[in-house]
Each structure stands twice: as C-alpha cells, then as structure tokens.
Amino acid sequence: MRIRGWMAVLLALCAPVALTKAQSAFNAPGEPYVPRLGDIMSTIQSRHIKLWFAGKAANWQLADFELRQLKAALAEAASLYSGIPVSDVTMMTVPLGSVEDAIVAKDGKRFAKAAGELTDGCNACHRSMGRAFLVMRIPAEQPFADQVFAPQGSK
C-alpha cells in the first residue's frame, strides 16, 4: 500500500479516538451533555435580536415564538447553573411580562418600550454577576440576512 493509503487508514482509525477525547474534555463518559453557560447566553442573545426585529416588523406570531424561546433558554440557564442568583432570574419577570403583553396587544410602541426594559434587565443581571463588560443594546443592524421578519404576505 502506498503512503497515502496508509495515512488514510491511520486517520480513519485515529479520528474516532480524537473525537472521543475532545468530547470527554467537557463531559465524563456516560454523563448527560450540559451546555456551557456562555453558549446558552449566546442563544439568548440571538433570540433577543430576533425578538426585536420580529416586533419591529409587527410579526407578532414570530415575536411570540422568539419570546417563548428566550424564556425557555433563561429557565435552562437558571436550572443548570445554580450560581445564578434567584433574584437575577426573577428580575427578568417584569420586563418579560411587559414584552409579552405588548405582543398580545400587537402594540409596537409598548413593544419598543418593553424591549428596552428587557435589555436593561439583561444588563442589570450582567452587572450583578460581575460581568458588566457584557452590555446589550437594542439591535441597530439586522444580522440575520437569511430570515424575513415581516409577516408573510406583506412586503
């Protein structure tokens, strides 16, 4: 067999071992996968952005979906990471409720105000956790060029 052939066989035999070692660096074999807090927060950030653009486009169905996803990710973070103080999680209840009320009312002005309060809540939580360098804002640019935020049937 030529050198290239042996190298291909060697790579094929070693790749599963390398992958197993890379995966086991985060979770012991047989333990359930636990996403890192930063990964959950990145998901929340994405939902925050999408929530804003859905509400701005008055796509209330999409805004409701993104809000539910954002709430689920916050609940996941709180349940998986006991170091997050309960007060930080509960401080988000009022702004999340205000966003939900605005979505149900299909009220763009209320939505914008509530989204600002939600963003302020995110920043307050970051500060209380010693992560003041993580500063959220209402999105100014739309980074999801592959998604349409306007309700179907509108331009």
> Is 100 contained in some domain?
yes
Is residue 7's pLDDT more than 70?
no
Tokens of 5: 């052939």
Domain count of the chain? 1
> Is 5 contained in some domain?
no
Contacts for 118 with CB less than 8 Å, ≥ 6 apart? 48, 92, 95, 96, 98, 99
> Is 63 contained in some domain?
yes
What per-residue confidence (pLDDT) applies to 8?
40
Place of tokens 């809540």: 121
> Is 86 contained in some domain?
yes
Provide the whole-model pTM: 0.78
Query: CA 134, 43, 49: angle at the middle one, nearest 5?
Result: 75
CATH number of 90's domain: 1.20.120.10
In our burial notation (b when 16+ CB lie closer than 10 A, e otherwise), range 53-90 reads bbbbbbbbebbbbbbebbbebbeebbeeeeebeeebee
Assess contact for 47 and 69: CB atoms under 8 A: yes
Q: What is the pLDDT of residues 51-106, one digit of tens each?
A: 999 999 999 999 999 999 999 999 999 889 888 877 777 789 999 999 999 999 99
Is residue 10's pLDDT more than 90?
no
> Is 144 contained in some domain?
no
> Is 117 contained in some domain?
yes
Assess contact for 122 and 49: CB atoms under 8 A: no
> Is 88 contained in some domain?
yes
Q: In terms of residue numbers, what domain contains 99?
A: 37-128
Is residue 19's pLDDT more than 90?
no
> Is 149 contained in some domain?
no
